[in-house]
Amino acid sequence: MDNEKKQVTYNSSITGETQVTFDIQQYMNSRAMFIGLMCNEDGYEEPFGDVTVNLPVAAPNYCGYLNVNDMPDIEKFITDNDIGEFTGFTQRSGFCEYPLYLFNVDKLRELCPDGMDKYEANTGMTRKPETKDLSR
């Protein structure tokens, strides 16, 4: 299988439409999921923006606080592309309130298979998030 990252159109009220790919990693201190967007500038991949923010309160697995401060259109992008859904929880940091999103694992695997493999290996997650453990 080729590791060609799948492109998605990010529609920004500020910069218009940009073709972006996903970069999935982990924050070093909290081990929470980091999602960044990359764009192609003159043949080189460059950072376009951070989807998630690193807050003192770590997000649960497969979740992240959306960077609504720097990317005002990020919630619409995430929901329109079926990448995640709002959990109903927010976390305040400074003057900003960041919404907590649960990401669509299958969609993230499709968009960034390498990043998801590393993330799941590092968190000790197996590839079965569909089965909900109701015993907790």
Q: Tens digits of per-residue pLDDT, 71-128? A: 999 999 999 999 999 999 999 999 999 999 999 999 999 999 999 999 999 988 765 5
Q: What is the pLDDT of residue 2?
A: 45
Q: How confident is the model at residue 8 (pLDDT cuts 50, 70, 90)?
A: very high
Q: How far apart, in whole angstroms, are the C-alpha atoms of residue 103 and residue 79?
A: 10
Contact 35, 24 (CB under 8 A): yes
Q: What is the pLDDT of residue 127?
A: 58
Residues 6+ apart with CB under 8 A from 113: 1, 3
Per the document, the length of the chain is: 136
CA dist 75 → 62, 66, 82, 102, 134 (Å) = 16, 7, 11, 12, 29
Structure confidence by residue, pLDDT tens digits, 28-87? 988 899 999 999 888 899 999 999 999 998 899 999 999 999 999 999 999 999 999 999
Residues 6+ apart with CB under 8 A from 75: 66, 68, 86, 99, 101
